[in-house]
Amino acid sequence: MSATEKVSTFRPTPEARTGGGTYLPGELRGIIRINQNKCVGCDTCKQFCVAHAIRGSIGVAHSIDTDRCINCGQCLVNCPFGAIEQMSFVDEVEEKLRDPEWTVVAIIAPAVRVALAEEFGSPSGTLTVGRMHNAFKKIGFKIYENNFAADQTIMEEAYEFIAKVRYWVLGERGPELEKFAHHPLPHFTSCCPAWIRYAELYYAKVLPHISGAKSPQQMAGASAKTWAALDVWNVDPRKVYTVGIMPCTGKIFEASRPEFKSAWQWLKENGYLPEDTPPFPDVDAVLTTRDAATLLKRFGVNPLKLSEKEENIEITEIYSGGATIFGTSGGVTEAALRTAYYVLSGKEPPAWDFFAVRGYTTGIREAVIPIPLKALGGKEFHLKICVVNGAINHLDKVLKQVVAGNCPYHFIEVMNCPGGCINGGGQPVNPMGTSWIDPLLPLPLKA
């Protein structure tokens, strides 16, 4: 059996953006669907749906309630019969790449580098960075590493959390801190779009706790169409087409959210666009890891046959190791913690590796990190951290504590998919599924 299985895709229709139900106009609806002709009603998919969005009795073809669906794709990667399909933008991206008028930008997430090679026959987990970059450049992409934007996220997320500690723990007040009176601890991360939609639909009371920082994908899209377009590539921002290359089907939905038009707004306000320029999104399209492999194959490019050495590296391809670990559960927490520790204590942490927040064998990862607070003369603040490693069976308990006001944590990371983005709904589909790594879930049965 091959390392990966084929996932069927379908093109979006105009009706997919009309809104209605739990969707705003413009937001993509029905990103994940069940093929009624392939589904045997085995019920496996229901075991992996935190939103309880799948309908149907055993033995009867199932369907997805799109109003409840959070677009995470965990049902898709764990379906034993390949009956679940995903919306794809491969055709649209290919068209833009073949049009010389457009500057097409690939925003590549860190988890893609350990999965893309699998689609070309390499063993699962094979790392390819230089070859991957070279492959995307070969077919016409500019590279805006999602890791580069993740470094921005680290700073935004960490300083937001620091401000909350100053307000809620240290009791500081001032004009720059007053808004945090409405954004209490515990602080939730905001990088995972499936988690954000889940909170919006089912736990609206926790929304004031969630970070206001955009995900790296959305930061990258806005920056690529403003700073990079004007100051790095010297191109017309109106002819920049940004493509998220993501391990996640939820990112397809995230990019369609109507509030993410920051580049258009900034360019218009600063005189770079005519007043009558219609709004355009920060991220135009999202391809899953599987989609990206399909696109490369259409152009006849196999990254495994290219050099690992990168040529003509631009500033938009440079990033830190803190950004790279965003792709795994606990990575966002560890990266933000490094900055928070340094700023709050005024000195470097005893070690830059916070192993206590890592780990993929438990649904909830807890840690207490003592931080000597500079503002209190070195008095220790015991930072209590929770990492939710996969939402099934774990997340609701934590959220109910927050709603009830008895949550013991200060910082909570939520990654909907077990292990984080590396096991996202857009990754190569292994014959064993991907969510089997969660010991609290039953093993999916495979045909």
Token reading at 171: 């009791």
User: Read out DSSP for 77-103?
Assistant: HT-TTS-EEEE--HHHHHHHHT-TT-E
Choose among 12, 214, 32, 7: nearest CA to 93: 12
386 burial level (CB within 10 Å; 0-12, 13-18, 19+): buried
| Catalytic residue from among 178, 259, 348, 380 | 259
Q: Are strands 364-373 and 9-10 parallel, antiparallel or unpaired?
A: unpaired
Residue 211: active-site member: yes
Residue 39: active-site member: no
| Catalytic residue from among 88, 190, 211, 345 | 211
Dihedral, CA atoms, 125, 86, 237, 327, nearest 10 degrees? -30
Residue 94: active-site member: no
Q: Work out the number of other CB atoms within 10 angstroms of the CB of residue 407.
A: 19
Residue 49: active-site member: no
| Catalytic residue from among 251, 256, 261, 334 | 251
| Catalytic residue from among 157, 317, 334, 413 | 157
Token reading at 16: 């997919």
| Catalytic residue from among 119, 254, 317, 334 | 254
Gap between the Cα atoms of 268 and 34, Å rounded: 41
Gap between the Cα atoms of 441 and 430, Å rounded: 17
| Catalytic residue from among 386, 407, 421, 435 | 421
| Catalytic residue from among 85, 118, 160, 334 | 160
Residue 191: active-site member: yes
Residue 160: active-site member: yes
The residues carrying an active-site annotation are: 157, 160, 191, 211, 251, 254, 259, 421
